[in-house]
Each structure stands twice: as structure tokens, then as C-alpha cells.
Structure 1
């Protein structure tokens, strides 16, 4: 493939991965709500966002300390366990819906558990890029849906705003997110989405993180998981997306890479607002089979993708960038436009 084709293919695959997480989250909003998977008693309480950010900061510090003292194996086991847990949340809803008419409830539940354990086994023994991406979609959709039904519009907007600022500070200021991403990348776990740029690329054979274009705030993902059993955090807890270009000073370096790495949190955090809009707003409901979607949720989804395209353009220029300011900004802008299109006052859309 020539360079132009490789770039277009990488951007296209990245968009598809984001869409998979977004649509998966929308498909899980109603099942999770009916199963009472909410992680908090009052989803409208804005202090939920503050608590989450606090937990994330503590988790970040603990992970950095773990890498400093060569406890990488502990982080890997924790994240694999979180992957299994979040996968079970998802499969516990999807498997019975698919095979329920054919088998008993007990067998369906057993199949869901088996599928979740298979995810963990694959991550431990064969974490190739397509295993990482497949697991990332499942985890990302599950986590975003869990967060979405647990955070009303105001807490969700606060969460996205605070994490966007934190991401910018951690990438452009303290740069500790880049250090964290470097440590996590070598663990080969689904805290990133891997986008191959060559047909022969193998994540298993990749020996370093020199090709990272975008790091994800993986730490956050884990943090919630350990602290919250709702599993939303667990799934991919928070994950700031830092777009880190460790090579790179120019576009040539970008084009020579074999793969791009996108932080899973880059997809999950803005999708929290998508799921929240679908769960808590009744205006502008769209009739889409299998999905809980309305105009504000659709606006947030499209705004996230618009931010992603701008981010990818900037990253492919060969410079390091924080991901969440663009992604969350796009999601918030799209959400507000969708709310206006649905006839909602801005105050109602914000949740005040």
C-alpha cells in the first residue's frame, strides 16, 4: 500500500473502532438499566464526577509507583481481571438475548461466564492486536454504558470537562501521562486500540512502544475498576487519551510506523455522554432497532467522531497531542446541538 492508502485505512479503522464502542454502548443502555447496573444511588449528583476523578488520580499514582518498583505483572493481572469482569457484564446481557430461545437460562448464564473467561485466557496467552481490539470494543462499550447510566447529563458533562483539562495538563504540562502510557503499552492489554498500518504487523512481535501515536489514560481505567465494582470504571476506567508521538518530529516518521495506538479512554470517556443522553433524555427519540438513541446522543456521537478526525489529522502531522480536549469538546458540542435540535432548552440539556 502507498502512504496515502495506509493513512486513509488507519483513519477508517480507527473510526470503525470508535463506532463499535459507541453503538455497543447504546445497545447496552436499556439492558443495563433494566438490570439495575447503576453504580450510584443518585445519578444526578454532580459530586459523583468529583469522586471519580479523585479515585482516578489515586490510581494513577499507584500505577506509576508499581511501574517504578517493577510490579508490572500485578498491573497486568489486575487489568485482565477487569477485562473478564466487564466482559461478563456485557455477555450476561447479550448471550441470553441471543441463545435464550434455544437453551435454558442456566445454560445461557454458563455460556456468558465461559465467554468472559475465554476473553481473559486470550489476553493472557495470545494478546495479538485483533484480540486486543475485540476485547477493547467489548470493554469500552460496557464501561461507557455503565458510566452513562450512572452519570446524569450534568455529572457527565462535568466529568468530560474535568478530564479534558486533566489530560491537557498531564500531556503538555507534567507529562506524567506519557510515562504511564509507556509503562502500560508493553503489557499488551486492552487499554489501547491497535490500528495496524501494514498487513504483516504483529502486536505480539512488537518489542517496544516507539510507535505510539496516542496513549490512553489507561491508568484511569484500571483505577475505577479496582475501586468500583460497578465495573464501569473497571472496564476502562477512565483513560485519558494522550496522543503521544514518541518518534516523531515529522510526517515521515508517522508514515513509517507499523501501527497506531489509540488510548481506550479516548473512545470511552466521550461515549459516556452519548450513553447518558440516551439514558436520561426523552426528547428527539429516534426509532433505531436495538439501540437507545435520541438527537442529543446522536449529536454527541457525531461530535466525538468529528473531534477524532481532527485529532488524527494533527497526530499524523507528527506532533504529540492530548486527545480528550478535542474528543470531549466534540462530544459536548454535538450533544448541545442535538439537544437544541430536539427542542430542549440548554439549561435542561445541561441538567440545571
Structure 2
């Protein structure tokens, strides 16, 4: 493939992965609500968001300590276990709906358990990029739906805003997100989405991730433990100014460096966190409902979805230019902006849209 085709394919694949997580979360809202999967008693309480961030910070510290003391295997087992748990939440709703006409409820439940265990087994013994991505979409959709029904509009907006600021600080300031990313990337677990840029790429055969164009990082939450990622580039910092004669050469070198990669890596949290607002809008706003078979969707949720994709496209452009950037400020900012536009288009006031 030529460079243009590789770029378009990578961007298109990334957008499809994000859409898969968003649509999956929207499809799971009603089943999760009916099954009582809501994690908190009062989803409208913004303190829930602060508690989540606190748990995430503690989990981040524990993971960094585990990497420091060579306990990578423990983190891998823990996150594979979380993948199995969230996969079971998803399959427990989807499998019976598919096989119910043919088997008993007990058999359907057993098949859901087998499917979730198969996800864990594949991650442990054959974590190729398509296994990672498949598990990531299932895990991301399930986590976003769980958070979506557990965080009302105001808590969701608070969560996205705080995490966007935290992501920027942890990437540009303390840079501890980069250390966390380096640790989790080599574990080959679905805290990242892997987007190949060559047809022959193998995640299993890849060595160190030091040369990855984009790294993701993860955090965990007490009950659902969804990944939270920051997006960075490994390109060298650009000089503050260059001579006019040198600029084309610099740009050429940057472009070549950006394309000289076999794959892009995007934190799963970069897809999950903004999707929480998409799911929350669909779950808690009964306005501007759109007739889309199989999913709960309204104009504010659609706006949040489109805003996330717009932020993703800007992020991908910046990454492919070889510029370092945190992911959540753009992605969460796009989701919030799109959500507010969709809410206004539905006739809601700003106060109602932000949950006041």
C-alpha cells in the first residue's frame, strides 16, 4: 500500500473501532438497565465522578508500583480477569437473546460463560492484534454502557472534564502516563486498540513498543475497571524555529517518521471515556429520540458521538504529523461540545443539558 492508502486505512479502522464501542454501548443500555447493572444508588450525584477519579489515581499508583517491582504478570492477570468479567456482562445479555429460541435458559447462560472465558483464554495464549481489538470493543462497549447508566448527565460531564485535565497534566506535566503506557503496552492486553499500518503486521511478533507512533495508558475502576488512556506520539520535539530553507526538509523527516510505523496504538480509555457521555445522554434524556433499530439514540447522544469522532480525526491528524498530544482533551472536548449542540437542537436549555 502507498502512504496515502495506509493513512486512510489506519484512520478509517480507528473510526470504526470507536463507532463499534459507541454503538455497542448504546445497544447494551436497555438490557443492562433491566438487569439492574447500575453501579450506584444515585446516578445524579456528581460525587460519584470524584470518587471514580480517586479510585483511578490509586489504581494508577498501584500499577506503576507493580511495574517498578517486576509484578507485570500480576497486572496482566488482573486485567485479563477484568476483561472476562465485563465480557460476561455483555454476553449474558447478548447470547440468551440470540439462542433463546433454540436452547433452555440454563444452556444460554452457560454459553455466555464459555464465551467470556474464551475471551480470557485468547488474551492469555494468543493476543494477536485482532484478538486485542475484538476484546477491546466488547470490553469498551460493556464498560461504557455500565458507566453510562451509572453516571447521570452532570456526573458524566464532570467526569469527562476532570479526566481531560488529568490526561493533559499526566502527559505534558508529570509524564507518569507515559511510564504507565510503556508498562501496559508490552503486556499485550486490551487496554489499547491496535491499528495495523501494514498487511503483514503481527502484534505477537512485535518486540518493544518504544517505536510506536501512539501509546495508550490505562486506569481501573472499582467495579467495572474500564481502561482510561492518554494519547502521545514518540516523535522528537520540534525546534521552536527553523530556517526557511530547512523547513521542507524538517517536514519531510517528520512525515517519514510518522509513516515509518507498522501500527498505531490508542488507549482503550480514549474510546470509552467520551462514550460514557454518549451512553448517559441516551439513558437519561428522553428528548429528540431517533428511530434506530437495536440501539437507544437521541440527538444529544448523536451529537456527543459525532463530536467524539471529530475530536478523533483532529487527534489522528496531529499524531500523524508527529506531534505529541494527550487524547482526552480533544476527544472529551469534542464529545461535550457535540452533546451540547445536540441538546440545544432538541430544544433543551443549557441548564437542563448539564443536569441542573
TM-score (norm 2): 0.94
Number of equivalent positions: 341
Instruction: Kindly report which structure 2 residues correspond to 1:1-40, keeping only aligned pairs within 5 A, or say none.
Output: 1-40=1-40
Taking the aligned partners of 2:64 and 2:237, their CA distance within structure 1 comes to 24
Map 1:1-352 to 2 at 5 A. 1-218=1-218, 220=219, 223-224=220-221, 227-228=222-223, 231=224, 234=225, 236-237=226-227, 239-245=228-234, 250-352=254-356
Q: 1:293 and 1:214 mapped to 2: Cα distance?
A: 31
Deviations 1:261-293 (A, max 9, x none): 010000000000000000000010011110000
Alignment partner of 1:5: what SS? helix
Measured in 1, the distance between the counterparts of 2:236 and 2:117 equals 37
- Determine if contact 2:229/2:266 at 8 Å carries over to the other structure: no
- Partners of 2:211 and 2:86 lie apart in 1 by 28
CA distance in 2, matches of 1:346, 1:209: 44
Q: Secondary structure at the match of 1:195?
A: strand
Which 5+ residue runs of structure 1 have no aligned equivalent?
none
Q: Work out the CA distance in 1 between the residues paired with 2:296 and 2:231.
A: 30
Q: Deviations over 1:308-329 (max 9, x none)?
A: 0000000000011000000000
State how far apart, in whole Å, the 1-side matches of 2:284 and 2:347 are.
15
Give the Å deviation of 1:101: 1.1
Deviates more, 1:106-115 or 1:248-257: 248-257
Partner of 2:231: helix, strand, or coil?
strand
Cα distance per residue 1:89-122 (max 9 Å; x no partner): 0000000011111111000000000000000000
Distance 2:236 2:292 in 1: 43
Q: Distance in 2 between matches of 1:128 and 1:257?
A: 17
Aligned partners of 1:92 and 1:109 also within 8 Å: yes
Largest Rg, 1 or 2: 2
